[in-house]
Amino acid sequence: MPSIPVVSANDSSSKVVECLERDGAVVVTGVIDRGVVDALLRELAPHLEIVDPDASINKKYEADGGSANFYPGKTKRITALVARSETFRSFVTHPLMLSACDAILKPNCVHYQVHATAALKIGPGAREQVLHREEDPYQFFKVPRPRMILASMWAVTEFTEANGGTLIVPGSHLWPADRTARRDEVVAAAMPAGSVLLWMGGTLHGAGANRTDEWRYGVFLSYSLGWLRQEENQYIDVPGEIARTLDKQVRDLVGFKMHLGIGYADVTVKDSLGERR
Ligand SMILES: O=C(O)CCC(=O)C(=O)O
C-alpha cells in the first residue's frame, strides 16, 4: 500500500527533502504550536465569516479560463493571505519551507517566490476534488516536468481520511503523462493540527471529501521559480500600501524583486511598492 512518510519538526531538513524526492510528499508534525494557530484563526476569522460556502467560485474561475468543476462546493476559500494575516507571513519565511525550497527549486532559479496562498475550510458533505498537479498550468512542458513548484498545506484543525484530508498519490511526481492513479494508489493525508503536508509540484493531489459533521481547516502556501508567472497575482493581492510595510524578506518572496532581468518597472511612473513619484 502506498503511504505518505511522516517526520517530525525536529528531524533534519535533508530527511524532509529525501521524502519529497522519493515519495513526492511528506507530513511534518509539530511545526506550529497552539498559540500560532490561535493567532492565525483570529486574523482570518473576519474574512472567512463573510464567505458563503454555497456560492460557487467556479463561475469566476471558468470565466478566467479555468475548468468548470474544479472547486468542490460546501467549501470556504479565501486568498491574499500575506495581506490578510501577519501570522501567515511567518509561514512564508519558515525555515522548514525555505530549506525545502532551496533544495527543490533553487537548482532551476536564482530565487523562488510565493506562488499562491489560500485558507481552505472544507465543510460537511463536500465532495472530493479532481486530482491535479500544481504544475498543470505550465502545460507546454511535458510530464514529468522540470521542478517548478513546491506546495504545502498547514493543518489548522486535525486532518483525517474522513474529514477531507488532502488526497495525495505518492510517487506520481515521477510518473509518465499517460499514467492515471488507481483508487488504491490515492492516500489521504492524516495529520494532527500544527502539522504541515508538503508536496512536489508534479504530485497528483486534491481535496478529500468530508464525510464528517465538522469543518476541516487548512492553509495552503506554494512557491514557484522566481521567473515564472505566479498563480496568485501577488502584485494585486498584496497592494503597495501593504507591501511597503512588510519585512524585506517577505516582500522579496512575494515577488517585489527582479529575477535577473525579469520584473522591472519604470519608477518614474510608480515604484514597485505602488508609490507615485
Ligand atoms: O484542500 C486541499 O486539501 C487541497 C486543495 C487543492 O489542491 C486545490 O484547491 O487546488
Pocket test for ligand 1, best of 120, 149, 204, 231 (most atoms within 8 A of CB): 120
Distance (angstroms) between ligand 1 centre and the Cα of 166 equals 7
Pocket test for ligand 1, best of 153, 157, 199 (most atoms within 8 A of CB): 153
Identify the band that residue 270 occupies on the pLDDT scale cut at 50, 70 and 90.
low
Q: What is the pLDDT of residues 78-115, one digit of tens each?
A: 999 999 999 999 999 999 999 999 999 999 999 999 99
Q: What is the pLDDT of residues 13-25, one digit of tens each?
A: 999 999 999 999 9
Cell, residue 94 = 519558515
Q: What is the pLDDT of residues 47-69, one digit of tens each?
A: 999 999 888 777 777 676 777 68
Distance (angstroms) between ligand 1 centre and the Cα of 168 equals 10
Per-residue pLDDT at 274: 60
Spatial CA neighbour of 25 closest among 189, 177, 147: 189
Which residue in this structure is represented by grid cell 517526520?
Answer: 7
Distance (angstroms) between ligand 1 centre and the Cα of 131 equals 9
Q: How far is CA 100 from each of CA 124, 131, 171, 225, 237, rounded to the nearest angstrom? A: 33, 23, 17, 13, 25
Ligand 1 pocket, residue 166 CB under 6 Å = yes
Residue closest by Cα to atom 4 of ligand 1: 207
User: Using an 8 Å Cβ cutoff, are 24 and 133 in contact?
Assistant: no
SS3 2: coil
Distance (angstroms) between ligand 1 centre and the Cα of 169 equals 13
DSSP 61-98: HHHTT--TT-S-SSEEEE--HHHH-HHHHHHHT-HHHH
State which amino acid sits at residue 199.
Answer: W
Ligand 1 pocket, residue 205 CB under 6 Å = yes
Residue closest by Cα to atom 1 of ligand 1: 207
Query: Domains in the chain and their CATH numbers?
Result: 6-235 (2.60.120.620)
Evaluate the CA torsion angle 156, 161, 166, 170 in order and state its sign: positive
